[in-house]
Amino acid sequence: MLNFEYKNPTKIIFGKGQIAKLAQEVPADARVLMIYGGGSIKNNGVYDQVKNALASHKIYELGGVPANPEYDVLKRALDFIVEKDIDFLLAVGGGSVIDGTKFLSAAAGYDGDPWDILKKRVRTEEGEGMPFGTVLTLPATGSEMNSGYVISRKETGEKLSSGGPGLFPRFSILDPEVVRSIPPRQIANGIADAYMHVLEQYLTYPTGADLQDRFAESILLSLQQTAPKVMADETDFDYDAAANFMWCATMALNGLIAKGVPTDWATHSMGHELTALFGIDHARTLAIVAPSHYRYNFETKKAKLAQYAERVWSIHDGSIDEKAETAISKMEEFFRSLGIQTKLSEYTEDFAGTGEKVEAAFSSRGWDGLGEHRKLTPAEARIIIEMSY
């Protein structure tokens, strides 16, 4: 097992009716900016629950944060924060709203061009950043209990990440009832994103971290078992399935399963380029890239792929190579069972030249060593993307 340090200060308040506890978590004298997305919270009652809970607080609102939170929209919000002397942020939404809020938290106290925080990956250290909490409405990213975020910028065609220990939410409220109103496409995305978060931290090479491996495998198994229940018709809402889905997504990316093991994240880096180029949903970009990434890096990953085959898919027959190959096919089948296509050409006809564009973007940023071995070059990323057409 590799050495590690672990600290996660986010308080989780989980369960039915817990949004009512907001008033106890947001400081009474705070000047709060409530941040949300395109309006789903107004249709499903979450907006009213938040407003009722914070009826005695001084609260301003900022809606309209789009999926893949857009830099220009957030930059305008920064002016509003200064104008109204805001000192506490409350994200009410999915990963996009929470990520946008993290960026605002980082940028509010940053002396310089806010885009540099992303371009130069400026970390927000402990004690920096405006305090914020979240009310999660979409299980997927784990952003509610981690300190990373991803921001898109249409003007430059970029999608970049940043973060730092100053950007853990103070608290996050996770009420599984919110899952009721999530459209099937977003539920599928949430399952696939959480699943891929686990694989990014698991499908590397063995380090004898047995407990972390078992944590990772149990999240994968739980997601597989829960998927058909949460994908079922809204009229069949299954609270426990929603609760398990929600907790799996949080546990998949709150740092715990990454400790003591190497992590990959090359699939995410390549996937972000596909969102920047084509606007494809984040989770779907991962389903496009991952099979090719695992096939291209088969030799270095096959020990863990075979373990994944045995322990998650109960495949016990065959050689290591055979089991590892079957595991990749099983993963693809799982994504397809969620209605998620796994080839770039299934999303766009304009896929020619994408590999070259990804290679150029990675080269221009000096990203010459991705993956758990920090060896994957931009030229190899191009091959992987071309294998994904």
Contacting positions for ligand NZQ (CB under 6 A)? 37-41, 44, 67-68, 93-97, 99, 137-138, 140-143, 146, 148-150, 178, 181-182, 186, 189, 193, 253, 268, 282
**Is position 372 an interface residue for Zn ion (rule: CB under 5 A)?**
no
Look at residue 153 and give the partner it binds from ligand NZQ, Zn ion, none, a contact being a CB closer than 5 to 8 Å depending on partner kind: none
Q: How far is the CB of 282 from Zn ion (least distance, A)?
A: 6
Q: Provide CB contacts within 8 A for 144, sequence distance 6+.
A: 10, 12, 98, 134, 136, 169, 172, 174, 250
Give one DSSP letter per residue of 277-326, joined into a string. Answer: HH---HHHHHHHHHHHHHHHTHHHHHHHHHHHHHHHH---SS-HHHHHHH
150 binds, among Zn ion, ligand NZQ, none (CB under 5 to 8 A by kind): ligand NZQ
Q: Interacting stretch for Zn ion, rule CB under 5 A, among 120-128, 187-195, 353-361, 373-381?
A: 187-195
The two structure tokens encoding residue 257: 């399963």
Name the β-bridge partners of 137.
Answer: none
Out of Zn ion, ligand NZQ, none, what residue 182 binds, judged by CB under 5 to 8 A for its kind, is ligand NZQ
Nearer Cβ to ligand NZQ (186/388): 186
Of the candidates 145, 152, 153, 173, the residue with the CA atom closest to the CA atom of residue 50: 173
Which residue among 175, 177, 193, 359 contacts Zn ion (CB under 5 A)?
Answer: 193
Taking the least distance from each CB to ligand NZQ, the nearer of 213 and 281 is: 281
Number of residues that make up the chain: 389
Number of residues that bind Zn ion (CB under 5 A): 1
- 146 or 307: whose CB is closer to ligand NZQ? 146
d(CA 97, CA 93): 5
Residue 38 contact partner, candidates ligand NZQ, Zn ion, none, CB within 5 to 8 A by sort of partner: ligand NZQ
The vertex-199 CA angle with 376 and 157, nearest 5°, equals 55
What CA–CA distance (Å, rounded) separates 178 from 387? Answer: 38
Distance CA 160, CA 153 (A): 8
Nearer to ligand NZQ, 281 or 325 (CB): 281
Region binding Zn ion by CB under 5 A among candidate stretches 34-42, 109-117, 190-198, 361-369: 190-198
Cα 232 vs. chain centroid, distance in angstroms? 23
Binding residues for Zn ion, per CB under 5 A?
193
